[in-house]
Structure 1
């Protein structure tokens, strides 16, 4: 890969009819299932409900984006699926197994790269390798991932010596090092400038095409959600509506990736989602 930051060409055939979303790789296989999941926290002698009655299936190879107002539980939902927190109600399953803490089949990347500053990029990526990986096998896997994210030329540099976008690419490579079945991304491009963010979106799609995995991405950017995902989940704030479930709407995104960012269908869906977020225009 000579330049992973070059934007791929738009979908020359245009988008399909609205509602005909891209077909996931394995439509019969559910990598993640949430049944009536809820999460509440103690607050001033009562319980503050952050998530309620979340029913969700993530299909193998699917990309699902989560949007919603601040405080609606987006990051809480991701942490629950990552096993970094436990639900107050309901059950989460990875494959056929109930989730009881972190699961080796999942990997997480956050908004900040969280690289160890004293290690080179290749050594940071190697931290994501499964335990017991042989030295030779590990070196080959790290080299492969650095090529995938376009960082083979920077393998021996340290985080302070590279740009924010390069550091975030190294973070993605580290998350992919264990070949996860489920990749969880919490605002992975939120700290980047606008141009780098667009390029990172294209890179994520390139990575997904090369190594298909189930992806759940939390984002505040509606356009990003529509560009990347097969489905977009709109969460509601339970502080404003305490009687309903957390999922306010599910939007099926039509067309194959990579999509034309200027397509009118995506523009219409953007308006719908923004209205769901309380932004009217």
Structure 2
């Protein structure tokens, strides 16, 4: 009998401690859903115009604006959003582990990814394109890239796509990052830079580059950007409703002009929810 009383007393002492530990874990920095007053969103940290973490700790870009709008429709204020970096190679893992509630990070919808995660959207139809110097009139069509120095990031499929399918005589130059390609383009070390037009427009729209570059407008591929959610998540339908409202009230168009407009980006009309252009 004494033993049972002692055990109950010990359990009573442990209860407050257990509650304290649980509360400490609810700061929004753990798994998504730990804190019902927060929502965790994956974005890119290094793509100007798309998703960028600035030196002063702020977040800017089209995907950031879209994600903030979605969060608001889900009932969250900006200060209730926990931003988490979602590098391209980590996106499926972040969703599968529950580290984020959803991802908006230039995330192209394809069949392979759909096996692992679900997508709301698409919310933007991008295309592979090229960026050239504003005063260069020698590249007006894809075949003009033959015998030109074409830059892309090491490991990118964009430049290989151009070289194998469009301009086999293009001289491929692979750099460590897009900012290096831009410097090379500005200094005439390369003649063109290739990746998604939305990403190119975001870089070209930066203050230091405005007026220096232009998009080719070649539409070399279709990239349907979607909002990634965990497989079977009820958020998919809610996010789709938010995206439809964003287009209807004119906010989508305002975000496009704000983030891509300075580069002369000619965006496609907002895509229809659930319709992926092949």
TM-score bracket for this pair, using the shorter chain length: under 0.3
- Normalised to the residue count of structure 1, the TM-score between the two structures is 0.24
Higher relative contact order (CA 8 A, sep 6+): 1
Query: Which structure shows the higher helix fraction?
Result: 2
